[in-house]
A and B are shown apart, each in its own frame.
Chain A
Amino acid sequence: MAQEKQPKRKKIEATGQMMKIMSDYFYDLNDATKASDRKVAWCTSVGPAELLRAMGFAVHFPENHAAMLGATRMATELIPEANTIGYSPDICSYLTADIGAYLKGVSPLANAYPGIEAPPRPDVLVFNTNQCRDVQDWFSWYAKELKVPCIGITSPKNFTEVTDILIDDVTRQIEALIPTLEKVAGQKLDLQRLSETVELSRECTELWRQVLETAATSPAPLSFFDSTIHMGPAVVLRGTQQAVDYYRQLLSELQQRITDGVGAVDGEKHRIYWEGMPVWGRLRQHSELFSELQASVLVSTYCSSWIFPDFDADVPIRSMAKAYLSLFIVRSDIYKEEYIKKMLKRFHIDGIIYHDAKTCPCNSNSRYGMPQRLEQETGIPSLVISGDLNDLRCVSDEQTRTNVEAFIEQLEERK
């Protein structure tokens, strides 16, 4: 049978450094659980991490742990453990995988990092429902199980503009967290330290923005699948110098790729926007599938969600409120569509793929007519693939392959 040469993805050299700082981070978390003078906070990925870091907490992000459960394909076996105690297979498979892992006493951290047995035991749980309600349910379960306080921000949702009224609301909610956190931490909030942390977060996300922006060039030096891995420090080390230093290194490598004309996909012919969550257990397969078809999935809403230009060291708490409210997922479809349209233009996109994740309605933007509206307005074709972020029982590899191949055929016809 005639087979075309299959292009391969290229390894990013900075990956080694990223693995090192992530390893340091996990070992530090593990040490914190054993140290009598340190406290551990669990935080949702766009929760008030800056506040927690400024108060000296070691910060664990259960969503990061859940994504690791997905990427290591442990999740699908663990989700039923949570189902049996009443957490439906239809709700967030981050939640069900993570609680399932706790119930089963397993963790990908234990496999990857000798000496670490499990995620760090929390002293406090801090959520922000800007992503979804599930994070609150998730943390509430642990609060009861581990008998630790659970506090958080109940975010406004589905708004188009981030108005002062909304910022006032979330600012007050963040301020209201401080007394409990001070009590758990055993120390007062140092506003100077908070400003410094917010500044580091701003620098981190600004560099992350520049990293992702490199994909606007053709060929794109970075793929979505690379970005899902390299966003790790932007998620778990936001507000630290390590993350800032890392993204400087990564940015430099990608700029060199641009100078050298090196693309993430050999012979890039089609430029694809990915809307929605990755299928963590299929990152490699999906990356190879698109590479074989000379299609570069080069930008996504998901990875771009960790860009927070609103962080401002002069008004740390208020700017945190504004940043958390500016998140794509918490906005109206009117805002989301304008945002995506700008991205399509900036990154010279030929086609959009929407991942309709069975257990993540908030990150599945194909359910309220958006693909049809955007296609009509921009003329850029789109494809919806069914799947899930963690639960591979909801994924059909053959259906995905056929859909993606047919979509690329469709794009070929239009060239």
Chain B
Amino acid sequence: MTQSVYVGLDMGASRTKVAVIDWHGVLLGHAAKKSGINFAATAEFCLDTSLAIAGANRSDIVNAVATGYGRNNVAFVTEKVKTEIGCHAKGCYHSFSEAITIIDIGGQDNKIIKLNAAGQRDSFKMNRKCAAGTGAFLEEMSSRLDIPLDEMNNLASQATEMIKLGSYCTVFSATEVLENIRHGKPVADIIKGIFYSMIQRVLEMDSLTEKVVLSGGVVAHNPYLVKMTEEMIGRPVSIPKFPQLTGAHGAALYALEAATIKGT
């Protein structure tokens, strides 16, 4: 059976994500993969995987929008590219249609995006040229500690105390981590401190409005970050169903919107 689908591709510095939606904006299929060095091949793989999950074919694609750092490197895009700031905003507003502050923690950068009740951007901030607070910081610490990235979350949640890191420089932080190991501090407490440092760096970027939404791959893989953020800001935060996909979903929604305007 043929169907009309709309595709969003978020080619991030770390991971590539694809979302396939129907004309109601409902997510039918999705995929994520390390972006690697062959952006085109990764994009094609993610597209085919998510189309298969959606039960759709390439010929069913009405429109496709790309976003992320590799947004200009994708062949199958049919619409003008959008920035990841716009797409994350679109994707999150689709889940939470009210005035929100979005905190997106990605592999290479962080964003704080403020939307008004109509979903328009009031402002956005990206991290400065610094890895602090990004997934890259977590990856560096995982490598220094020789602990797989996917174990960091569980270890942090087992901490009984927290070893705070004083620096916002990744290199200095790594030195602090090694110093704490030398002093025999529990690894779980150190990792909790690493998570705390990440969130602190992000929260320093801008003030928050009442409703806060967390998104991004780092959030998707580290639920402890969400709990800790809530503790730090003193109120609950909202998470989209697929936090890693908000950019791709937003891009797909842009594809749908553009196609609707054109009447296709």
Contacts and interface: CB of A to CB of B under 8 A. Distances in A.
Q: Do A and B come from one complex?
A: yes
Interface of A: 1-4, 375, 381, 384, 386, 394, 396, 398-399, 402-403, 405-407, 409-410, 413-414
Q: Which 8 pairs between the two chains have the least Cβ-Cβ distance?
A: A406-B85, A406-B83, A410-B121, A1-B77, A405-B83, A409-B86, A413-B120, A386-B128
Which interface residue of A394, A399, A402, A407 has the most chain B CB atoms within 10 A?
A402
A402 B69 contact: yes
A338 B166 CA distance: 39
A399 B80 CA distance: 19
12 contacts: A2-B79, A381-B123, A398-B69, A399-B126, A402-B126, A406-B84, A409-B82, A409-B83, A409-B86, A409-B121, A413-B121, A414-B120
B83 A1 contact: no
A403 B82 contact: no
A51 to B, nearest CB: 42
A410 B89 CA distance: 11
A276 B119 CA distance: 31
B68 to A, nearest CB: 9
A402 B77 contact: no
A375 B123 CA distance: 10
B261 interface: no
A409 B85 contact: yes
Contacts of A381: 122-123
A126 B161 CA distance: 59
A384 B127 CA distance: 11
Contacts of A402: 69, 83-85, 126
Contacts of A407: 124
A223 to B, nearest CB: 23
Given A396-B129, A398-B69, A406-B83, A1 B124 contact: no
Q: Which applies to chain B's interface (DSSP): helix, strand, loop or mixed?
A: loop
A2 B125 CA distance: 28
Given A402-B83, A403-B126, 8 more contacts: A1-B66, A1-B75, A1-B81, A394-B129, A406-B84, A409-B85, A409-B121, A410-B123
Q: Which applies to chain A's interface (DSSP): helix, strand, loop or mixed?
A: helix
Interface in B47-100: 66, 69, 72, 74-75, 77-86
A1 B78 contact: yes
Given A402-B85, A409-B86, A4 B80 contact: yes
B197 to A, nearest CB: 21
Contacts of B66: 1
B104 interface: no
B77 A2 contact: yes
B108 to A, nearest CB: 9
A124 B80 CA distance: 57
B22 interface: no
A14 B128 CA distance: 39
B78 A406 contact: no
A4 to B, nearest CB: 6
B11 to A, nearest CB: 12
A1 B43 CA distance: 14
A408 to B, nearest CB: 9
A2 B78 contact: yes
A3 B81 CA distance: 9
B61 to A, nearest CB: 13
Contacts of B82: 409
Contacts of B126: 399, 402-403
B86 A406 contact: yes
A360 to B, nearest CB: 15
B109 interface: yes
Nearest to A384: B125
Contacts of B83: 402, 405-406, 409
A375 B126 CA distance: 18
B205 to A, nearest CB: 11
A334 B128 CA distance: 27
A143 to B, nearest CB: 35
A406 B75 CA distance: 22
Nearest to B72: A1
B172 to A, nearest CB: 16
A53 B78 CA distance: 61
Contacts of B128: 386
A375 B72 CA distance: 32
Contact of B74 (A1, A375, A405, A413): A1
B77 A406 contact: no
A381 B122 CA distance: 8
B166 to A, nearest CB: 20
B246 to A, nearest CB: 15
Contacts of A405: 83
A399 B69 CA distance: 9
Contacts of A386: 128-129
A54 B186 CA distance: 73
Given A398-B69, A399-B129, A403-B126, A2 B80 contact: yes
Nearest to A409: B86
Contacts of B129: 386, 394, 396, 399
Nearest to B206: A372
A406 B124 contact: yes
B254 to A, nearest CB: 10
Nearest to B76: A1
Nearest to A358: B129
Contacts of A403: 126
